[in-house]
Amino acid sequence: MENLAREALSLFNIHLTGRHLLALTTYERELLEWNQKFNLTAIRDVESIRVKHFLDSFSCVQAWKANPPQRLVDVGTGAGFPGIPLKILYPAMQLTLVESVGKKVKFCQHIVEALGLENVTVVHARAEDLGQKPEHREGYDWAVARAVANLNVLGEYLLPLVKVGGTVLAQKGESGPAEAQSAEKAMKLLGGKLRKLIPVNLPGVADDRYLVLVDKVAATPPKYPRPAGMATKTPL
């Protein structure tokens, strides 16, 4: 864990305290244990968990610098990434984790309890259904997703959840710049405007990675998101 603390500081200027490291150690242990039974994530060794889950989650901090989200929704969170590591960094943040796979929802609920995290809601649902619910629609200042869908599809999942003036953050691989370009029309339709791409470097990871930031500049038309499955079948 000392290595993780060193890299978090040098890469993202994040100072991990003893309390943070204790929480991350518990998280890692539980993830490894549950993974043997439930196959939650393809990343299975300690080193990869620290780099490709924890550090990768922390990279989001580059998007908001000194002004972290007050209400964050993490869509398609899987085993809790990037939402839970960010919640460990920002205890005051209100976090909603959205996941459609039951065993992953159970793990998220378990880890929230194990870490004693407050103001975390774990929702077993699809993003398209959530975006039409009044208590979630345009209720968040940030929405984040990692490796969920192509950007023109992802926009339809995330933008309806963000209030005007808020931001969508998509964690992307090397296709990030091309996806951002081809999704501009879809974003505009949904009330979004591409702000910028931030390159992310992770130790020992050769692939290019990016944070794609999309500002919510206008309200999303009521008909979006369309019913579950439509966004992938006929992307905007």
Per residue in 49-75, pLDDT (tens digit) is 999 999 999 999 999 988 999 999 999
Closest CA to 75 of 100, 107, 46, 56: 100
Q: What is the mean pLDDT of the chain?
A: 95
Instruction: Return the percentage of the chain with pLDDT > 70, whole number.
Output: 100
The C-alpha atoms of residue 116 and residue 139 are separated, in whole angstroms, by 24
27-36 mean pLDDT: 94
Name the band, by pLDDT with cuts 50, 70 and 90, for residue 230.
very high
* pLDDT at residue 39, as a whole number: 80
> How far out from the chain centre does Cα 95 lie?
11
Strands 94-99 vs 120-124: parallel, antiparallel or unpaired: parallel
* pLDDT at residue 66, as a whole number: 87
* pLDDT at residue 147, as a whole number: 80
- Ranges of H-type helices in the chain: 2-12, 18-38, 46-48, 56-58, 61-64, 83-89, 102-114, 127-130, 151-158, 176-182, 184-189, 230-233
Q: pLDDT tens digits, residue range 77-94?
A: 999 999 999 999 999 999
Domain 64-233 has CATH 3.90.1200.10: no
164-178 mean pLDDT: 97
Specify the higher pLDDT residue, 44 or 137: 137
The C-alpha atoms of residue 230 and residue 105 are separated, in whole angstroms, by 23
Q: Which two tokens stand for residue 2?
A: 């000392």
Q: pLDDT tens digits, residue range 100-116?
A: 999 999 999 999 999 99
* pLDDT at residue 45, as a whole number: 86
Residue 42 has pLDDT above 90, yes or no: no
* pLDDT at residue 43, as a whole number: 79
Q: Which two tokens stand for residue 234?
A: 């006929």
* Among 16-25, 38-47, 199-208, the least confident range: 38-47
Name the band, by pLDDT with cuts 50, 70 and 90, for residue 173.
very high
Q: pLDDT tens digits, residue range 124-168?
A: 999 999 999 999 999 999 999 998 899 999 999 999 999 999 999
Burial class (CB in 10 A: 0-12, 13-18, 19+), 31: buried
Phi, psi of 90 (to 5 degrees): -125, 85
